[in-house]
Amino acid sequence: MPLPTFDVPFVLGMMRLHEATDMHQANHLADWIEARLEQGLHWFDHADIYGDGAGETLFGQALRARPALAKRLKVVTKASIANDNPTPGSGKVKHYNASPAYLNRAIDDSLNRLSVERIDHFLIHRPDLLMDAEATGRALDDAINAGKIGAAGVSNHLPSQWRRLQSAMHHPLRANQIELSIAHSTPLFDGSFDDLCADGHAPMAWSPLAGGALMEGEVSHVLTRLASEHNSTPAAMALGWLRSLPNRPAPVVGSVKPDRIADMLEGPDTLPRETWYELLEAARGHCVA
């Protein structure tokens, strides 16, 4: 079976959606979603902790206002982070929970908030060190069999962690979201990127612009020069760097600004080999051995 891929220039990350007050009006957000679909961007990445569910809720309100959109897009959502950033003195402790009860509830809640019939990819957001792999694997298999999720996957897991889960499942894990960028290339050198590709996971790269760090220092100078040479933008070149990797990782882009999104589409799909290594060298401060 061929490795699954996300057939888009990048995935639209909804982490900051709830912070964009102009998106709180359902018809306005529906217009924004439709405009992205017209640009060929039909994958949207969510998580239950984004705005404590507010991101999914706003997205679902837009789909209820314009139901035809739901059939034209695909959604990823994630769960397992509990009590994210608790208020000091609240008595709550941030922790991870991949128990069947927690994930089953998270899937149902996300389906309701998003107003979709199925979550295309459901990912375990962070590895729960107390996870009962057999029980969690059965819960994910059951959710796929019930048609609630199209496929299960992981995020921020080590190969040993996702393989323990996979060994308890009938259905294959199909997606894997990791931090990956020119500035954070560790997965390319520690074997974890090779492992996820070998295990048939479609790779997704969060923080593909390293939280703005790529626009500073030597790598910024190189990106600016290369963007000029390719009639592109620095951000678009950085995303092309990721897509040049084997199995074409899908960058997860966090901006909801139309002009920013348009800028990131203004670039080559992939980069020439020497250009790719030039950017790696600029970020690491030395050439490959």
Active site amino acids: 50
Q: Please name which of 249, 187, 246 lies closest in space to residue 5, comparing C-alpha atoms.
A: 249
Packing angle of the helix pair 217-229, 273-284 (nearest 10 deg): 160
> Residue 98 in contact with residue 140, Cβ under 8 Å?
no
Q: Where do the H-state alpha helices sit in 127-272?
A: 133-145, 159-166, 186-189, 192-198, 217-229, 234-243, 258-264
How far is residue 48 from each of residues 160, 195, 248, measured CA to CA in Å? 25, 27, 26
Q: Which distant-in-sequence residues (6+ apart) come within 8 Å of 194 by Cβ?
A: none
Q: Which distant-in-sequence residues (6+ apart) come within 8 Å of 123 by Cβ?
A: 76, 77, 78, 79, 152, 153, 154, 155, 175, 177
> Residue 264 in contact with residue 253, Cβ under 8 Å?
yes
